[in-house]
A and B are shown apart, each in its own frame.
Chain A
């Protein structure tokens, strides 16, 4: 897998630009959907939790938003990547090219929504009068950590999806469960203290979500459990590289 070859980069570039054009050109509201989507999601949960259940702290809207946009990057990329090889079977059987560009391009395409989400987030941060702190410098670091985590999973699922077609059905539930199993709609402080360490260990996205909220709103560093997240991504990377190197004849199985 020549990851950083010249032609690799240009294939990736054209795939991403092409997909983005398709994604936004054919809709009346175009790019506006990248703004509307996370806002609507946030409003739904905001009304539900804040006004119906009477829960959530003073900065709940921001907590929700940062969790939802980063989670959405994860879920949409995973879902798109897991069918990326399967749905391009014809192309893979026609042209020889480094096929890992397909799942990776899905992650980059969805990163545009993430960036738009962050713009909205900072508008909210401004209006909620949360002042910037030195801890904000952690945000790009956390995003990079999340990025490589998503890529590793996307590589794995894109291959597994070829051999195990039930994967998509399973993932549909999987990402949904992960939404509720991560501290996105609620804060980590709502988990009983004695279970917190178990929860942070077992729920893969939890340490990342806690860290985003910590550095953005609560003026503290990232959660120490982030190390587990890093370790987990290393395991996924080993698996991903193994799959991509052992499956050279993928086009035969499509």
Chain B
């Protein structure tokens, strides 16, 4: 069964219409009788993407900065709706996009675990069941009852990572988080990710590190400027990517 089916997917953004427009410009344009709607230019962040991923497969997404990798993750996560084509995700996807988003600085780590996980769509019982594991994993000790504003950036990242890997969805979206915290923690998180990957869970991993893509993923998607360059076995795609 396919966990993710993407067909001719296109995501477009409207280039800011009013963001840098001032009333003066609007008036000027009205005077010159130009139509304001001309401003509505579109930019395709992704276009003509088609691929399928089976249940339990791990997909690596590669491409240079601004090629649309994060946009793809957000689309799989249901944050963006396709403007063209279709996308179907079996079960629900949870994102590990930027860790620690949505933390409230004045709340404690413990309180933030609940808030964050509830927003991610987990129920209170699910969180109750995992909270001990999350806290133990983060190694925050008594800091868990301190407000998050007193945390170092590494501690915040650990908390976010802990929530993300312990509360799981059918499809996991991972955006370059392999480099969280110090060496010891990085090793631990690497192990956790490997565990996820061997866990018959469908994972989409975005990374610039060819090493992690090569060691973790079976399929690979290479996108450039929103266009699909290649999709297939990881080894072949990486070879083509590196020689381009």
Contacts and interface: CB of A to CB of B under 8 A. Distances in A.
Interface of A: 6-7, 10-11, 14-15, 18-19, 21-22, 25-26, 88, 90-97, 163-164, 248-249, 251-253
B75 to A, nearest CB: 11
B102 A22 contact: no
A251 B115 contact: no
A251 B101 CA distance: 14
B119 A11 contact: yes
B119 A97 contact: yes
Given A7-B123, A93-B74, A95-B95, A252 B80 contact: yes
B107 A18 contact: yes
Interface in B68-117: 74, 77-81, 95, 97-98, 101-102, 104, 106-107, 111, 114-115
Contacts of B101: 90-91, 94-95
Interface residues of B, number: 26
B118 A10 contact: yes
13 contacts: A15-B115, A21-B111, A22-B107, A88-B102, A90-B102, A94-B97, A95-B95, A96-B79, A97-B119, A249-B80, A249-B81, A252-B13, A252-B80
A95 B119 contact: yes
B80 A94 contact: no
Contact of B106 (A10, A22, A93): A22
Given A94-B98, A95-B121, 9 more contacts: A14-B114, A15-B115, A18-B115, A21-B106, A90-B101, A91-B101, A94-B95, A249-B81, A251-B79
B107 A21 contact: yes
B104 A22 contact: yes
A21 B106 CA distance: 8
